[in-house]
Chain A
Amino acid sequence: MRDELLQAQAELAKALGRARAGEDRDLAQKVREAGEQVAHLLSGLLKLTRVHAPENHAFDAPVAEFGKALAALVELLGTVHVVTVEDQIYVNDVRIRSEGKAGSRDLGAELRRHDAGGLSFHAPLQDVGVRALVRALGAPAPDGEGKREALLAALQAAEVTTVEPAGVFRLRLEEGEDRRTPDEVIRRVLGLVAETWANLEQGRVLNPLPLRRGVLDLLDLGLGAPAFWGGFPAEAAPHAIHATEVAMVALLTARTAGFSTGFVQDLGIAALVHDTGYLTRGVGDGPAAFARHPLEGARVVLRQRGFHEAKVRRLRAILEHHRDHATPGARPTPGGAILRLAEDYVNVARLYGARVLRADALGAMVKASGTLYHPVLAQVLVNALGRHPPGTLLELDDGRFARVAAPARSPELWERPLVRAIDPRTRQLSPEIIDLANGPRIRRAVPG
């Protein structure tokens, strides 16, 4: 029993050591102290706006002090989340002492005037940025709806792009578990990707947690859901659609190959952000941008502080997502190799789909396996997508045209997918799913 406990303790110690890798041992205390300073100074600065304009020299010293304290916190944490809940303040989950400090306690009320419950700082602020933040927070909020949006707009107009107001937090008290439909989940994932890209462009640090929840939802609902393989909302951003399509193919490949749940989740997140290297200023376009974006994408991930298995996987997959299998001395990891396959497959469909059958694209990729692609994984992809991969236009025996709605369901049904018929009058896909296992037969596949 004692040995068992010792072993359990050792395993826990190891897990905690992993979780805290890269953290100072007294990180919590440092965060508490610097966080207290940030909250107190910010609250004081806001009070000062009632007496002076932020350009006044009275602001010089506290603005400088605030900037210094914030820079110290950013250095420690990467992204600093100041959250107010009732009269309490948290900085990245560490409670800030506000007893006997009315200033800090008032910060929540100051933020709530703008319908904000917190602020996320993704980078340090220079003097001018602090003054702009204080001016925006100290200004009267507009009447009615949209106070927080107005605050965000004021910050962006003042070029303070690395500060993000968060909503007023509440805890959901509804009973029961959320059950989302596949349509809701795909809309959410597309939205998260667009939001992530916008955040990263503003210089914010990647926040993988919402993306992980999105990937979990995709996996929980089953990767075969037709809503995940086409017919995405028209208002979705093209790059969000691309990232989501790559993620779906990557998730399907990894699941089919029997990778662990943790790896599949991590790969899904990597796929959703794999092209964010294109956001780097000065990356250009064309071949130069193409060559540079994997490394720049890895840099986006590097900005996230702390060690995590997922971060290593994400870094490698993004760094390797255009790397050939046969690269001497630098063969991609399975994560990178899967992402490469998924990315190329989705790109062929995106760039040449009008002229090339998806099955032919797969056939070409299988032929290139061993040089461009991992041979085993290329075959896994073929097995997973089916003879007629999702999106393929089919002419059926009964004269109707239909599009494949989902990947292969099993080896037995590999050639007989689920499809959606195309309405000949409107050329729109019908909502009804037809299982070709029950007929009609496929006459031919058509590019387009």
Chain B
Amino acid sequence: MHDRPTTTPAPGHDSEATSHVSAASPRGQAAAGLVGALAKAARAFTLYDPGNALVRQFIGDYRARVEAATAGGPVELEVKPFELLCGREVVYHEEDRERSLAFKLFRDGVRSLTFARAADGDELLRLLQILAVRFVGIRQAEDDVVTLLRKEEFRSISFTAVEGYTSEEQTADAGLRHRGGEPPPGFDTPFPKLPPPGPIAYVPIPDAALGALRGEEAPEALGVSGVRLAAELVAWAARGALPAAEVAQLCGELRDFLVADGQLALLASLAELPLRLAAGPLRDELLRGLADARLLEAVIGSLPAQGGALPPEALRLVPFVPAAAVMDRLAAEEAPGRRAALLAIVEERLPADADAVAAKLPGLGVELVRELLKLLARKAPDRADPVSLALLGHADASLQLEALRALAGSAQKLPAAPFVEALRSPVEAIRIAAAHALEHHGDTAAARAVADALTSRKGYSRDEAAALGRTLGALHAGAALRLFDGWLEHKKSLLGGLRGGEHDELLRWAAVAGLGVIPGAEAEQRLEAVAQWAGEELRRHVHGTVGRRRAEARRLAPDGGGAP
């Protein structure tokens, strides 16, 4: 979870609805502290992720304030539409209905709230939970503050309540007059055939028997119950008795609940429901409905802190985790173990999510891009090259470099133009990488561009010269030999190459490297001839080139290089 930026002050800062607070007595001030801390903690969840460190501070502050305020006895708060009063003192005032704790309590019907001395810590937390849920939740037809409070059966927090919002003309009997919406005549028939009656008696029931039943409906069993329900509804939908969209909606809601509860095994069971179906609209709708970024939280949550392999249940969920979400997470993840796990998830999502992966690449660091391009090349080869080609246009030189390296290794024949373009890059590493890529993807026209790069530019390094020479030799041996002869012959005339311009020296360097990749005895003879007159550095370059050339020949020989 990530902290969201906010302007909300830290706990010590009392900006929460205190502008009209009139509490002057120590008791009133303590109550104002309690209420302010409660309101702040409850509302914090609308501003921050629940895991945020500030939320923790707010919770701690709230508990401390309750403890301080109730040290001298119970604190009774009277609830007004926009204010909370302790005795006659206003201890909270906020008129914005969306922000106001007082309004939320009042609107739902709460008229007083009392904290007993030394209120139970667990109850305080559950009260905060109720208020926080009312602050953050929007689809809340099921409960309000009063029903939630009544469900909790607190012992150290008490309240009084009325009906809350009422329509002006509403009366208790209004509904009795409602007509319309009735079952058909003879509903609930035919009645099942029952056996003849037997005697009845009061029979005490062992608590163990009831306990098992209660366990099935306990909150902890909700996930199991929900997945069972989803399975049944999917089965109905498969028979055509239920629209796919209705079931998909429930499955999506259940998924979010299981994610929030961290119930990985049940999530995996839920995810398997569509996979067991035959191909068709229902399966497609369920798969679409279940795939969601929130699943990533559950998958990542299953990883040990130091990283490592995903547990089997998490692996079963990976097909439902959109790669875009993983990529976002990847960009922020610094722990190597988790990063590796995220990359493993991306790999699983390929080739299906190749476009999503590609779209997020420009925002990532070079190392990640390198890894991801490798993954793309392995799992989505047809998408890897276009992605890398697109990166060539990116402003970041390091990304261009990674893209060129990936493209150089592509098994597909690619157009030479982007690489020829890259030969004009101001960055030498990119020019060298482009030359390497052209070795595989260039043509005779590209050979001309390479030759131009060698002859028309000045001030490049020996490495670049060698790369360009090799590329030239590989692309057009005939033309290259003619050029190389010229470059090398010219130097012979200058007293064995002892003198000459820097550019000429670079051309000789390129020519030697280029001869190294041209097949045939003729090229090697030329190299040996150069060694006769070359200076020390060039001679070493020749020897190195010849050595590499022979090693390569041995490697490519049919017998694996055993022959001399």
Which A residues lie at the B interface, using CB under 8 A? 1, 4-6, 8-9, 11-23, 27-28, 31, 77-79, 85, 88, 90, 92-95, 115, 117, 148, 166-178, 180, 184, 187-188, 190-195, 197-202, 205-209, 212-213, 216, 220, 233, 235-239, 257-263, 265, 275, 278-279, 283-287, 289-290, 293, 295, 298-299, 302-313, 315-316, 319, 324, 330, 333-335, 343-344, 347-348, 351, 359-368, 372, 374, 376-377, 379-380, 382-383, 387, 408, 411, 414
A191 close to B178 (CB less than 8 A): yes
B162 CB contacts on chain A under 8 angstroms: 172, 174, 176-178
A27 CB contacts on chain B under 8 angstroms: 138-139
Residue in A174, A212, A239, A286 with the greatest tally of chain B CB atoms within 10 Å: A212
B141 close to A201 (CB less than 8 A): no
Chain B interface size, under 10 / 10 to 19 / 20 to 34 / 35 or more? 35 or more
A176 CB contacts on chain B under 8 angstroms: 111, 160, 162
A414 CB contacts on chain B under 8 angstroms: 202
**Per a CB cutoff under 8 Å, which of A175, A306, A348, A365 touches B253?**
A306
**Per a CB cutoff under 8 Å, which of A6, A166, A289, A380 touches B184?**
A289
**Per a CB cutoff under 8 Å, which of B147, B197, B222, B225 touches A364?**
B197
**Per a CB cutoff under 8 Å, which of B60, B175, B189 touches A188?**
B175
B147 CB contacts on chain A under 8 angstroms: 209, 212-213, 216, 265
A201 CB contacts on chain B under 8 angstroms: 180-181
Q: Mark B191-213, 1 if CB is under 8 A from A, else 0.
A: 11011111111111101011001
11 contacts between A and B (CB under 8 A): A12-B132, A22-B253, A194-B178, A198-B178, A208-B141, A233-B176, A262-B151, A290-B189, A334-B214, A344-B192, A363-B198
A167 close to B50 (CB less than 8 A): no
**Per a CB cutoff under 8 Å, which of A9, A21, A275 touches B55?**
A9
Separation of A15 and B147 alpha carbons in the complex (Å) = 16
A302 close to B250 (CB less than 8 A): yes
A18 close to B51 (CB less than 8 A): no
Q: A188-B172, A212-B142 are in contact. List 12 more A-B contacts (CB 8 A).
A: A17-B50, A180-B172, A191-B175, A191-B176, A197-B180, A260-B219, A312-B222, A316-B229, A324-B192, A364-B196, A367-B198, A380-B205
A312 close to B183 (CB less than 8 A): no
Separation of A364 and B196 alpha carbons in the complex (Å) = 6
**Per a CB cutoff under 8 Å, which of B160, B194, B254, B256 touches A367?**
B194
Separation of A216 and B142 alpha carbons in the complex (Å) = 13
Residue in A170, A176, A257 with the greatest tally of chain B CB atoms within 10 Å: A257
State which residues 94-135 of B face A: CB under 8 Å: 96-98, 106-107, 109, 111, 121, 125, 128-129, 132-133
B20 CB contacts on chain A under 8 angstroms: none
B106 close to A6 (CB less than 8 A): no
**Per a CB cutoff under 8 Å, which of B97, B177, B182, B254 touches A88?**
B97
B151 CB contacts on chain A under 8 angstroms: 261-262, 265
Known: A21-B257, A170-B168. A315 touches B229 (CB 8 A): yes
Known: A9-B55, A17-B259. A168 touches B219 (CB 8 A): no
A263 CB contacts on chain B under 8 angstroms: 214, 217
Separation of A313 and B226 alpha carbons in the complex (Å) = 8
Separation of A23 and B389 alpha carbons in the complex (Å) = 39
Separation of A398 and B348 alpha carbons in the complex (Å) = 83
CB distance from A122 to the nearest CB of B (A): 12
A20 close to B51 (CB less than 8 A): no
State which residues 465-504 of B face A: CB under 8 Å: none
B106 CB contacts on chain A under 8 angstroms: 171
A16 close to B132 (CB less than 8 A): yes
B59 close to A9 (CB less than 8 A): yes
B232 CB contacts on chain A under 8 angstroms: 319, 330
CB distance from A169 to the nearest CB of B (A): 5
**Per a CB cutoff under 8 Å, which of B133, B166, B189, B200 touches A172?**
B166
Known: A290-B189, A366-B198. A194 touches B132 (CB 8 A): no
CB distance from A319 to the nearest CB of B (A): 7
The answer to whether B174 has its CB under 8 Å from any CB of chain A is: yes
Residue of B nearest to A146 (CB): B169
B225 close to A316 (CB less than 8 A): yes
Separation of A19 and B140 alpha carbons in the complex (Å) = 8
The answer to whether B557 has its CB under 8 Å from any CB of chain A is: no
B195 close to A368 (CB less than 8 A): yes
CB distance from B177 to the nearest CB of A (A): 7
The answer to whether B137 has its CB under 8 Å from any CB of chain A is: yes
B97 CB contacts on chain A under 8 angstroms: 85, 88, 90, 95
B228 CB contacts on chain A under 8 angstroms: 316
